[in-house]
Structure 1
Amino acid sequence: MILLTFNVVNIESENKKGFQMNAEERLEITESNTKSILRILDIYETKASFFIEISIVENLKNLIKAISAQGHEIAFYNKNSSASQIEAVKKTTEDFLEKQIRGIRQKEFKIGETDLKLMGFHYISNIDHADILFPFKRLKRDSAITEENGMSIVPESISPYSQLPYNDFVFQVLPMKYYQNMVFETLKNDDFVLVYLDSWQFTDLEKYQFKVPFYRRYNTGKKMEDKLEEFLTWINKNEMATSRMKDYIF
């Protein structure tokens, strides 16, 4: 099973000298990028899970409704929000969607399983920091979903052969043929592969003059859209199963 997920986050990079951008304009870029992802998923009839960053949820209600209306899962991405902020946003979102939010994803800043369970979350999908060196370190980690304090803990997937994690950076830089082989070989060994991408990777960095390290500029914008389409074409051609996270876990 392939669990395809997207982190909906604003791009944090500064603009180059002489180019100014406010928070509202950054939010518009995030919304535009996410709509591009939705268009591609619709073409290939693929359902995914979208992890919306807590601090921008209130400003993306219409987009969130559109994501949900297309049959995708809405979950949260906690960048640095407090427990009280998460709880308040969860209640508001569930009210206007009339659906329960089951999942949350965290990276550097993490709320404990007990607190998240009390808020009504059912699973946690924590991810690691990805830079130019981290994805290529040899890692050892159990890929099985575990239960802790009544919560399902979904680990970041790692290829048992190359030991590369299936994070946003690896998808961006690896040749698609190699990435496809990695997924195919992993599914021979594991029950699922959890893939995640960031919405900012679909940004036209030249158009908006963002200062992004050279290794992070590669395959962004339209090239990232093309790469996602190539991946989904391969999935459909090989009749590989995909699922929203909440459906797979429960």
Structure 2
Amino acid sequence: MVLLTFNIVNIEAETKKSTDISDEERLKITESNTKAILRILDIHEIKASFFIEISIAEKLQNLLKAISAQGHEIAFFNKDSNLEKIDEVKKSVQNFLEKQIKGIRQKNHQFSLEELKSIGFNYISNIDNADILFPFKRLKRSSEIIEENGLSIVPESISPYSQLPYNDFVFQALPMQYYQNMVFETLKKDDFVLVYLDSWQFTDMNKYQFKIPFYRSYNLGKKMEDKLEAFLFWINEKELATSRMKDYIF
């Protein structure tokens, strides 16, 4: 099973030019990038899970409604919001979507299982920082979803052969054929492969001139769209099963 997920986050990088890009403009970039992702998913008839960053969720009501209307899952990504803010936004989004938010993803700022359960989450999908040193961080991990304190904890996927994680950086950096082979071989051993990309990766860097580290500066924008297109075409060609996170877990 391929669990395809997207982190919907504003790009935080500074610009190369003297003029700054406002938060409102960054939000518009995020919305445009997400619409590009939705278009590609729709073409290939694949459903995914969208983890919306807490601080921008209520500002993207129309976008969230469009994501939900196309049959995709809405979940949350927490960057640095406190528990009270998460609870507030969760109730607000559930109200205007008329659907329950079951999942949350954390990276730097992490709450305990008890705290997340207390505000109604059913599963957690935490991720690591995708930087250039990630291959040296860890070589082993459990590939099974575990239940703890009434919550399902979904681990990051790592290839048992190459030891590469299926994070946003790896998708961006690897040649598509190598990545596809890695997914195919992993599915022979594990029940699922959890893939995640960031919405900012679909930004046209030539247009906005953001300052991006050298190792993250290639295959962005239209090239990222093309890679996603190629990946989804391959998934359908090989008849690999896909699922939203909540459907696979529950």
TM-score bracket, shorter-length normalisation: over 0.9
Superposition RMSD in Å: 0.8
| 1:246 maps onto 2:234 in alignment | no
Q: Quote the offset at 1:93 in angstroms.
A: 0.4
- Alpha-carbon distance between aligned partners in 2 of 1:126 and 1:141, rounded to the nearest angstrom: 13
For residue 18 of structure 2, give the secondary structure of its aligned residue in structure 1: coil
- Alpha-carbon distance between aligned partners in 1 of 2:46 and 2:190, rounded to the nearest angstrom: 21
Deviations 1:78-100 (A, max 9, x none): 00110000000000000000000
| 1:72 maps onto 2:77 in alignment | no
| 1:46 maps onto 2:46 in alignment | yes
In the alignment, residue 7 of structure 2 is paired with which amino acid? N
Residue aligning to 1:213: 213
Deviations 1:190-249 (A, max 9, x none): 000000000000001111010001110110000000000000000000000000000000
Q: Runs ≥4 in structure 1, deviation > 3 angstroms?
A: 135-138
Q: Quote the offset at 1:133 in angstroms.
A: 1.7
Deviations 1:44-86 (A, max 9, x none): 0000000000000111011000000000000000001100000
Structure 2: which 5+ residue stretches go unaligned? none
- Alpha-carbon distance between aligned partners in 1 of 2:136 and 2:208, rounded to the nearest angstrom: 30
- Alpha-carbon distance between aligned partners in 2 of 1:98 and 1:105, rounded to the nearest angstrom: 21
- Alpha-carbon distance between aligned partners in 2 of 1:17 and 1:174, rounded to the nearest angstrom: 30
Which moved further from structure 2: 19-28 or 62-71? 19-28
Conserved? CA contact 1:5–1:195, under 8 Å: yes
- Alpha-carbon distance between aligned partners in 2 of 1:17 and 1:215, rounded to the nearest angstrom: 20
Q: Quote the offset at 1:137 in angstroms.
A: 5.0
Deviations 1:124-161 (A, max 9, x none): 00000111121465511111000111100000000011
For residue 242 of structure 2, give the secondary structure of its aligned residue in structure 1: coil
Q: How does 1:175-186 map to 2 (within 5 A)?
A: 175-186=175-186
Q: How does 1:17-28 map to 2 (within 5 A)?
A: 17-28=17-28
- Alpha-carbon distance between aligned partners in 2 of 1:190 and 1:71, rounded to the nearest angstrom: 26
Residue aligning to 1:57: 57
- Alpha-carbon distance between aligned partners in 1 of 2:33 and 2:136, rounded to the nearest angstrom: 27
Conserved? CA contact 1:53–1:76, under 8 Å: yes
